[in-house]
Structure 1
Amino acid sequence: MFLPVNKKEMEERGWEQPDFVLVTGDAYVDHHSFGTAIISRLLERFGYKVAILAQPDFRSCEDFRRFGRPRLGFLINSGVVDSMVNHYSVFRHRRRVDEYSPGGVPGKRPDRAVIVYSNRAREAYRDVPVIIGGIEASLRRLGHYDYWDDRVRRSILLDSRADLLIYGMGERAVLEIAEALDSGIHISDITWIRGTCYRTREFVPDEQSRILPAFEEIAASREAYAESFALQYRENDPICGRRLAEPYGEHSFVVQNIPQEPLTRQELDDLYELPYENEEHPMYRDMGGIPAFREVKFSLVSSRGCFGGCSFCALTYHQGRQVRSRSRESLVREAEKLIRKPDFRGYIHDVGGPTANFRGPACDKQLKYGVCREKDCLYPKPCRSMKIDHSDYLDVLKAIRELPGVKKVFIRSGIRYDYLMADPKRQKFMDELCAHHVSGTLKVAPEHIARRALHYMGKPSADVFTEFAELYRQTNRRLNKKQYLIPYLISSHPGCTLEDAVDLALFLKEYGFIPDQVQDFYPTPGTLATAMFYTEIDPRTGEHIYVAKSLEDKKMQRALIHYNRTENRRTVLRALEKAGRKDLIPVLLTEGRRNGNTKGSHKSHRTGAATGRKHQKR
């Protein structure tokens, strides 16, 4: 049974008023891939009445009175994706499709949805607590560079006029807040909960806290911004992290409490086995359904967190670097439920998470001391303390694929190939992967091959990728499988020069990779690479770096990856001339004239390369 979406459904349950109204910019899908479903079902389990206000009319506050006055508060998120990323491409063009809205129709949510919704809720009931969370609030919890305004904006807690902000994965925090409010504690006094940010006029630092550079400083100085981000990056751990306070003027602070500890395996099992309908709300059926739900309906979330350390990814800032996973038994139970669905056709689309083949903390030290402040787990090479073991993941995959009614179990969330190549038993995993879990193509993310670009991305050397590709090719050949690789690439990443882009084009030509789509670097709040993009400084070292910011520079780097396309010929010529590599004109452009608008028909005999890249929202 879905949670109530209007007052009539609320009254049919015998409720006089809800405890919480959960406001979201997404359509209502009661599936654990959507944070709205997780938070609402968790609160329901602990006895709270939650009503869902999905994609409300934001032009006035009237819709925010739909259920009457909530007893404890409004819980507000923008949806699964930051609303600005949802609305605009990297070139700031308005997107034509909203994957999280009925029929994919855009315009159902406002720009900066958390700010707009929070202010409307405040207009509707001035003294009702407003708590914001989700990805948009989490990544904007402190002063942050905003790509769309091209300036540093202050904490979203201030612009939204919310009382409290939940960052990261908010299950523990939201329950503690609910308990405090239910016991009669005023929202302004709830300042102790981990994984939250609050406003205060006074802040006295201690051994467990740090004062960040003031907002006025980071808005005026790129050096100060880089310093602030570096501090935030190092303190984002539940064991070794400290409270952070960002000053605003003389008598105002936004305080970020220490992060919540990640959920245990049992807690994750319990969370993902709550009584979800695992469907989109019936009110959307005549509107074309929710496109994003079709991508995850027959997928299983097996893990959270990522110790991969990619500079362009916000996961370390939102989910954290400590990986936790669900048990095999829990995943099998969920798979059995999927099998019983009338529209199940035998295919589990994914068993994974941020990184499919991560199943636990990188090392035992993380459990006692927290993640390392000054080093990554995998870059530049896998740490000697890392526990590298794929046996647990293989057991999960085998148990699910052997269930009656399952034809195939795919891995679409991607594997970290450098982690795999560091495993002495990698051939066993590769055999299982190629034999049972690839749907014709396997996607991996080298992102680039130039040493300098990979350094600023936090990705392994090109040699690791080519060794993996060769192992993949040999394994498929031995198994008599025709299966290929889809390499994901990023152009114009901070630190990546035109010369690096030329090197990538030569690599693609040598190995036969012809990408169909390439993702231009997208500066989104909360990533190390975005801090590099804005400041032109590596916050970790203070080193000044090159950043391609002009449209012309971006076009040249992108065109070099698609050097074979006729429409890119002039841009590639300009790029080679600017890079001082006219000698490469016959090398790259002769084939380009011959192939024209090649769309992926070429496959290398060496790597089994395939083309194509689905749009990703990082």
Structure 2
Amino acid sequence: MSYTDFLPMTREEMDKYHWHYVDFLVVTGDAYVDHPSFGTAIIARLLSKLGFKVGIIAQPDWHDTGDFTRLGKPRYACLVTAGNLDSMVSNYTGNRNHRKKDLYSPGGVPGKRPDRAAIVYSNRIREAWPGIPLVIGGIEASLRRLAHYDYWDNKVRRSILLDSRADILVYGMGEKQVEEIALRLANGEAIGQLTDIPGTAYVVGEKPPAGAICLPGFDEVSAAKSKYAEAFRLAYGEQDPFRGRTLVQPHGLQYVVQNAPAQPLTTEEMDAVYEMPFMRSYHPAYAKYDGIPALKEVKFSITAQRGCFGGCAFCALNFHQGCIIQPRSHDSILREARLLTELPDFKGIIHDVGGPTANFRKPACRAQLKRGTCADKHCLAPDKCKNVNVDHADLIELLRKIRSLPGVKKVFLRSGLRYDYLLYEKDPEVLREICKYHVSGQLKVAPEHVSSGVLKVMRKPGHDIYRRFTDKFYEANRLLGKKQYLVPYFIASHPGSTLKDAIELAEYIRDMGYNPEQVQDFTPTPGSLSTCIYYTGIDPLTGQKVYVPRSSKERQMQRALIQYRNPKNRGLVKEALRKAGREDLIGKGPKCLVR
């Protein structure tokens, strides 16, 4: 089989390649898109690069085993992922309503994947082939590897390993783990012997490994929120690849064992991953559906690095991708940029060059590559650590190289700039150059809130930092003679936010003349610090109690306050203002929010 082909999804495609079997079967809740922004494509291409025959089962009918068996029983193992998102996030909004679109499905049509897809798919595979080696991975499995609060069930669920009946769970970015699993299985080792691989978890029914950190068990964390907070705190402190230790969590008579995290990829390893020969498109089977919407957002974007040391409480990156920056080389990124210019539908615009945070191109400090991240503090919040090395020189040099390539008209930064890190940059020309060449009229930034109390819970910098950045941004654009605007993102109903805090945010929005069309409701997803706070009412890292807006009515009111200009929200805004004792904001005055 040529690397310039899609991997087979049908028997007919297998026959085309003269395959009688596959070595590994990859089952995914997403449509099959062979692009490096899709985890399924990366893992499948990696296995293929190692010389294995790989088949893809994308969005199978989960009501029976038929779709799962159409390529035959794989020689070594089945690998299962819910897709690029947790299936509950794909299927439901923050208010637990069914989503009207699934961007990872053909034509955006919803309903192509089941709830808790990794569990459902794994159990169908167990029905089809009892005893076959079964590996689960992807963000759904990764963030549910230990006992976790589930917002949609509103209860603590046990580790996904037990409900899926998988042999091994790969957590985090799984290239190293999957490669070792595949090579050892092909070398004749039994799946039960693969218990020493960093970045994996498994279940034992007897004495767990000696020396491991024992977390409060499933029964304990289900019964007492204080125990849940304790378990989260212990696990949170062991996610660093340099200092992280093995964790054990009892689940009845069984133990879930999480090995220490995998080491971050080197620059050379990152280059190798993203330069695998992807088709950079969706499988031809989806042509009649007008493709896959999620691909349109990333087709002409470049992943330049992984990791983020921002430390936002509502982000689960600490539990999945990690905090240590893993950059690709300039040469590798430039090769990919040239490749994009050769695609027939390229219009001269590279939509994004970045990662979780576009302007993090290096580890926060030199010590991170020797001893890992700090166990007792964050790099940027509530204040910048004195050891953080603020340096945009590498990013600016890279962007200059890309925009000088023949065929490249524009290069934008859309994956999010950490505005506080950019504010701390001493060279004023950095912001000016970004504004001049890499902003498309609007720059999206994420202050998230204005209340000092809420920002503290979020692990975000104080609002004064955002105000200082806005001044610098507009001054830079004034000097450039450009009219460009900041588009701030805010989160409604985050833990710590009272109605008083929501009103403070609404007043700020009023004063700056901003009318936010999109507001993100806080959704408690597994793995984040904010989710633990939402469930327990306790900040597990400080032990302090935190107010949590849980009721549907209060969540609606906090969201309505942010969008108080929408006539549909008038009743909710009035109710919120009266409840908070702020009737002074009801009326016809210039400072009033609603009449």
Q: Identify the TM-score tier after normalising by the shorter chain.
A: over 0.9
Q: Match for residue 565 of structure 1?
A: 566
How far is 1:593 from its partner? 6.0
Matches within 5 A, 1:58-457: 58-204=62-208, 206-207=210-211, 209-249=212-252, 251-425=253-427, 427-457=428-458
State how far apart, in whole Å, the 2-side matches of 1:310 and 1:157 are.
27
How far is 1:565 from its partner? 2.4
How far is 1:264 from its partner? 0.4
Counterpart residue identity of residue 229, structure 1: F
Counterpart residue identity of residue 487, structure 2: I
2:55 aligned to which of 51, 56, 59: 51
How far is 1:385 from its partner? 0.7
Contact preservation (8 Å) 2:585, 2:591: no
State how far apart, in whole Å, the 2-side matches of 1:447 and 1:43 are.
40
How far is 1:180 from its partner? 1.3
Matches within 5 A, 1:512-527: 512-527=513-528
How far is 1:508 from its partner? 1.4
Provide Cα deviations, 1:402-451, integer angstroms capped at 9, x if missing partner. Answer: 111111111110100111111212x1211111100111100000000100
Counterpart residue identity of residue 343, structure 2: K
Structure 1 SS opposite 2:586: helix
Contact preservation (8 Å) 1:73, 1:128: yes
Q: Match for residue 475 of structure 1?
A: 476
Q: Match for residue 534 of structure 1?
A: 535
Q: Match for residue 611 of structure 1?
A: none
How far is 1:14 from its partner? 2.3
Relative distance call for 1:64 and 1:588 in structure 2 (3 A) is farther
State how far apart, in whole Å, the 2-side matches of 1:471 and 1:198 are.
50
How far is 1:50 from its partner? 0.6
State how far apart, in whole Å, the 2-side matches of 1:387 and 1:80 are.
32
State how far apart, in whole Å, the 2-side matches of 1:214 and 1:191 are.
20
How far is 1:16 from its partner? 1.9
State how far apart, in whole Å, the 2-side matches of 1:63 and 1:409 are.
42
State how far apart, in whole Å, the 1-side matches of 2:374 and 2:361 are.
19
Structure 1 SS opposite 2:447: strand
State how far apart, in whole Å, the 1-side matches of 2:553 and 2:92 are.
20
Structure 1 SS opposite 2:474: helix
State how far apart, in whole Å, the 2-side matches of 1:356 and 1:434 are.
14
State how far apart, in whole Å, the 1-side matches of 2:394 and 2:220 are.
48
Relative distance call for 1:589 and 1:551 in structure 2 (3 A) is farther
Q: Match for residue 508 of structure 2?
A: 507
Structure 2 SS opposite 1:466: helix
Contact preservation (8 Å) 2:9, 2:55: yes
State how far apart, in whole Å, the 2-side matches of 1:322 and 1:587 are.
51
State how far apart, in whole Å, the 2-side matches of 1:205 and 1:32 are.
36
State how far apart, in whole Å, the 1-side matches of 2:540 and 2:507 are.
31
Counterpart residue identity of residue 461, structure 1: G
State how far apart, in whole Å, the 2-side matches of 1:111 and 1:204 are.
31
Q: Match for residue 9 of structure 2?
A: 5
Q: Match for residue 552 of structure 2?
A: 551
State how far apart, in whole Å, the 1-side matches of 2:433 and 2:483 are.
15
Relative distance call for 1:252 and 1:391 in structure 2 (3 A) is same
State how far apart, in whole Å, the 2-side matches of 1:477 and 1:238 are.
44
Contact preservation (8 Å) 2:573, 2:594: no
State how far apart, in whole Å, the 1-side matches of 2:15 and 2:209 are.
48
State how far apart, in whole Å, the 2-side matches of 1:568 and 1:276 are.
47
Counterpart residue identity of residue 243, structure 1: T
Provide Cα deviations, 1:200-256, integer angstroms capped at 9, x if missing partner. Answer: 02234544x20000100001110000000011111001111110000012x310000
State how far apart, in whole Å, the 2-side matches of 1:334 and 1:134 are.
24
Counterpart residue identity of residue 358, structure 1: F
State how far apart, in whole Å, the 1-side matches of 2:33 and 2:233 are.
37
Q: Match for residue 598 of structure 1?
A: none
Q: Match for residue 492 of structure 2?
A: 491
In structure 2, runs of 5+ residues without a counterpart are none
Provide Cα deviations, 1:340-371, integer angstroms capped at 9, x if missing partner. Answer: 11111111000011000001211111111111
Counterpart residue identity of residue 196, structure 1: T
State how far apart, in whole Å, the 2-side matches of 1:557 and 1:588 are.
22
State how far apart, in whole Å, the 1-side matches of 2:532 and 2:394 are.
36
State how far apart, in whole Å, the 1-side matches of 2:424 and 2:364 are.
13
Structure 2 SS opposite 1:128: coil
How far is 1:557 from its partner? 1.1
Structure 2 SS opposite 1:538: coil
Contact preservation (8 Å) 1:21, 1:50: yes
State how far apart, in whole Å, the 1-side matches of 2:332 and 2:28 are.
28
Structure 2 SS opposite 1:505: helix
Counterpart residue identity of residue 242, structure 1: R
Where do 4+ consecutive residues of structure 1 move more than 3 Å?
Answer: 203-207, 586-594
How far is 1:60 from its partner? 0.4
Counterpart residue identity of residue 233, structure 1: Y
Structure 2 SS opposite 1:181: helix
Counterpart residue identity of residue 200, structure 1: V
Provide Cα deviations, 1:449-489, integer angstroms capped at 9, x if missing partner. Answer: 10000001111111110111111101111111111110000
Contact preservation (8 Å) 1:26, 1:78: yes
Q: Match for residue 581 of structure 2?
A: 580
Contact preservation (8 Å) 1:566, 1:592: no
How far is 1:590 from its partner? 6.8
Contact preservation (8 Å) 2:240, 2:373: yes
Is 1:17 aligned with 2:21? yes
Relative distance call for 1:552 and 1:145 in structure 2 (3 A) is same
- How many residues matched? 591
Contact preservation (8 Å) 2:249, 2:257: yes
Structure 2 SS opposite 1:310: coil
State how far apart, in whole Å, the 1-side matches of 2:208 and 2:52 are.
35
Contact preservation (8 Å) 1:565, 1:593: no
Q: Match for residue 612 of structure 1?
A: none
Provide Cα deviations, 1:155-213, integer angstroms capped at 9, x if missing partner. Answer: 00000011110000000000110111111111112100000000102234544x20000
State how far apart, in whole Å, the 2-side matches of 1:194 and 1:66 are.
33
